């Protein structure tokens, strides 16, 4: 891990039973950078975020965040490290019985005892940053999908984190909302002086905001580099993902122990 890296992952292995999810992954996130982690569904992207946040532990390898290994920290130390992280969950994950204001205020109320006047200013500042100060009193059911995602983003950055983790931030949004969220990710990262990891399978949007990117496939990093370098990758698996082609190294059929004909009781001809 260099002094400029906020996150450094070395030879990381993680499996669920006999299913290998990550098989010797190396990855680094420089301070101040937006790093995209892309790949097909089920490729271990969200698992990687959980390993960085300390929700999971790998079987071997090392995860370092701001010079600390989450897997080796006490519960109290891990909570302190997580206070320096922000997380935008897939599908926003707002508390349905709390207003937009109270959703954003939740981390502050949970971790600090702030005067109500100061808390109100901090929350409204973050809602203003995502263009939703006027929606502060609306309930999640009253928000559009794009608005809910922006409220969730305001909640993720309300404590001015060093590291922001985004789990599929563009999923389920219309093109205008996708553009707004992508722009906010870049702008908030730069304004906070933070580092961001954007897990996504949306190539165009991720390339538009990322400084560097990784493509995962088969549990390994199959390509890495700037968006331009990734686009020129010679990896067939990377190119199949980037182009969205059905034919390639990723098979259409999930492996089966017997042929289709045998499964139907049909005699195979030779």
| pLDDT on residue 268 | 61
Q: Can you read off the two tokens belonging to residue 29?
A: 């996130």
* CA nearest neighbour of 160 among 250, 74, 58, 86: 86
Q: How many domains does the chain have?
A: 1
Residue 116 lies in a domain: yes
Q: What is the pTM of this model?
A: 0.87
| pLDDT on residue 66 | 93
Residue 270 lies in a domain: no
Residue 140 lies in a domain: yes
Phi then psi for residue 263, to 5 deg, are -60, -30
* CA nearest neighbour of 238 among 249, 228, 246, 247: 249
Q: Taking CA 8 as the corner, what is the angle to CA 238 and CA 250, rounded to the nearest 5 degrees? A: 20
The strand order across the sheet containing 60-65 reads 19-30, 5-16, 60-65
| pLDDT on residue 239 | 83
Residue 162 lies in a domain: yes
Question: Cα 230 to chain center, whole Å?
Answer: 19
Residue 268 lies in a domain: no
Owning domain of residue 101: 5-263
Instruction: List 269's β-bridge partners, or say none.
Output: none
CB-based burial of residue 241 (10 Å sphere; 0-12 exposed, 13-18 middle, 19+ buried)?
Answer: buried
Residue 269 lies in a domain: no
State the SS3 of 216-266. Answer: EECCEEEEEECHHHHHCCCCHHHHHHHHCCCCCCCCCCCCCCCCHHHHCCC
- CB under 8 Å to 162, separation ≥6 — which residues? 6, 66, 84, 85, 194, 195
Q: Taking CA 60 as the corner, what is the angle to CA 210 and CA 200, rounded to the nearest 5 degrees? A: 25
Distance between CA atoms of residues 97 and 109, nearest Å? 16
| pLDDT on residue 267 | 66
DSSP 56-68: S--SEEEEEETTB
Residue 153 lies in a domain: yes
Residue 143 lies in a domain: yes
Q: Can you read off the two tokens belonging to residue 225?
A: 């580099």
| pLDDT on residue 248 | 63
Query: Which stretches of the chain are DSSP H helices?
Result: 45-53, 75-82, 100-111, 116-129, 145-157, 175-192, 203-209, 227-231, 236-243, 260-263
Tens digits of pLDDT across the chain (270 residues): 577 899 999 999 999 988 899 999 999 999 999 999 988 777 889 999 999 999 999 999 999 999 999 999 999 999 999 999 999 988 889 999 999 999 999 999 998 899 999 999 999 999 999 999 999 999 999 999 999 999 999 999 999 999 999 999 998 899 999 999 999 999 999 999 999 999 998 888 999 999 999 999 888 998 899 989 988 888 878 888 887 777 666 665 566 667 766 777 776 655
> The CATH number of the domain where 167 resides is what?
3.40.50.300
């Amino acid at each position: 891990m260099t002094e400029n890296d906020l996150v450094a992952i070395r030879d990381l292995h993680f499996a669920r039973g006999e299913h290998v999810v990550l098989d010797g992954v190396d990855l680094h996130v420089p301070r101040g950078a937006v790093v995209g982690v892309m790949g097909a569904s089920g490729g271990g992207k969200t698992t990687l975020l959980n390993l960085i946040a300390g929700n999971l532990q790998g079987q071997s390898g090392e995860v370092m965040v701001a010079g600390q290994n989450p897997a080796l920290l006490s519960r109290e130390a891990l909570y302190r490290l997580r206070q320096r992280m922000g997380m935008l969950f897939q599908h926003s994950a707002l508390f349905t019985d709390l207003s937009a204001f109270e959703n954003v205020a939740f981390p502050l109320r949970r971790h600090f005892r702030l005067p109500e006047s100061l808390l109100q200013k901090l929350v409204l500042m973050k809602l203003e940053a995502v263009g939703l100060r006027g929606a502060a009193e609306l309930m999640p059911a009253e928000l559009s999908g794009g608005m809910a995602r922006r409220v969730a983003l305001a909640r993720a950055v309300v404590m001015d984190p060093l590291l922001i983790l985004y789990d599929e931030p563009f999923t389920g949004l219309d093109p205008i909302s996708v553009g707004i969220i992508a722009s906010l990710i870049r702008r908030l990262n730069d304004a906070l002086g933070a580092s961001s990891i954007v897990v996504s399978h949306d190539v165009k949007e991720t390339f538009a905001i990322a400084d560097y990117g990784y493509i995962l496939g088969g549990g390994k990093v199959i390509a890495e580099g700037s968006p331009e370098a990734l686009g020129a990758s010679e990896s067939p698996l990377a190119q199949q993902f980037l182009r969205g082609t059905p034919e390639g190294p990723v098979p259409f059929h999930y492996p089966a122990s017997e042929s289709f004909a045998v499964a139907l009781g049909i005699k195979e001809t030779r």
